Structure 1
Amino acid sequence: MSRIRIPGKLPFLRFPPFYKGAPQRRLFFPDWYVTVVKPEEPMPKNYVKFNIPHDMTKYDIKEYLEKIYSIPVAHVRIANVSWVSQKDEYGSWHFREPFKIAHVTLGEGQTFEFPKLIAEEKDDSELFPLEAAEKARETIARLSPKEQSDDIRTKLGTGNSWLS
């Protein structure tokens, strides 16, 4: 049996948006998303590069960083990027939304270093030390082909006729 709401018959609970002493029930999320981008060339420690939506202004990015993340911002420069389009191998076009690039200079005493997300590749010399490689070569050289085949027979057992 379902409950049917008849106007005026069942109570409709309505909470006031705020009253003194009440816990805050609302979360305010920003309307924009901001992406940190690693610059191609080395930059000063107080420089950060962002990809931001096309409708965001330099005043908005400054307020965004100061209010949400408590980061003091000294200067913001904006560069527009128009529609990015690419043609795939089938001949159809793919468009990406327009965005802006924000070049942000942080306040005095603030530094930013882009995190290393991917570990750097190690050389083969670090992964396989030279001494271990030489020791493996000596072990292989000591065993003759007959000793190697005898070793396989002892591991697998003598009951297999296909090994002889």
Structure 2
Amino acid sequence: MARRMFYPLYQFGNPQLRVFRTDYFLTLVRPGVPLSEDTVQFRIPMEMTKVEVKDYLENIYNVPVASVRTRIQYGSMRMRDYKNCRIKKPDYKVAYVQLEVSKLRLLWQRGTLELPRSLPDPSQQICKETVSRNCLFHIILPGCRRNLSVSGLVSRDQKDH
């Protein structure tokens, strides 16, 4: 659904200039709970469907999408006005977009997509349960294991107290 554009004005004999823009906007938000490394969270308009989210990201931003899951978040009622009546915030829709990691790597190798410098080579394993969200991928180091209570790597030789 694109808005009708009235500028620039059409003059007889000239070709019509058509600019198509979407009525929607996506807001990338930080998730409240840790998600897998290939999943990102968006706030989207209530009218937007899963297919439209996928088409939007693939056609406008050239990001390969594996799947899209949506849910409707109930707006909070914590605020009160001067009469001590509850004020409800509007509901909003949340989309969880799972990216195709293999296609992202392929695009990055071709040079059409820029990813962080910490991208590992495909021969190494990818950790799905990482705590830090600083980079897109995290490499599992041999001889180490991840302790989720501590944000860092813990050696196997080190004893737990």
Unpaired runs of 5+ residues, structure 2, are 1-9, 106-114, 117-132, 136-161
Structure 2 residue 11 is matched with structure 1 residue 13: yes
User: Following TM superposition, by how much is the alpha carbon of 1:93 offset from its aligned partner in structure 2, in angstroms?
Assistant: 4.3
The residue that corresponds to 1:81 in the other structure is 73
Alignment of 1:51-70 (within 5 A): 51-70=43-62
Percent identical residues: 31
How far does the alpha carbon of each residue in 1:78-111 deviate from its partner, in whole angstroms, 9 at most, with x for none? 1112344443352254443322110110013338
Alignment of 1:1-164 (within 5 A): 13-14=11-12, 16-18=14-16, 25-88=17-80, 90=82, 91-109=84-102, 110=104
Unpaired runs of 5+ residues, structure 1, are 1-11, 19-24, 117-164
Equivalent position amino acid for 1:38 in 2: R
TM-score, normalised relative to structure 1: 0.49
User: Following TM superposition, by how much is the alpha carbon of 1:29 offset from its aligned partner in structure 2, in angstroms?
Assistant: 1.5
TM-score, normalised relative to structure 2: 0.50
8 Å CA contact retained: 2:74, 2:91: yes
3-state SS in 2 of match to 1:96: coil
Equivalent position amino acid for 2:11 in 1: L
Structure with max Cα Rg: 1
Number of equivalences:
99
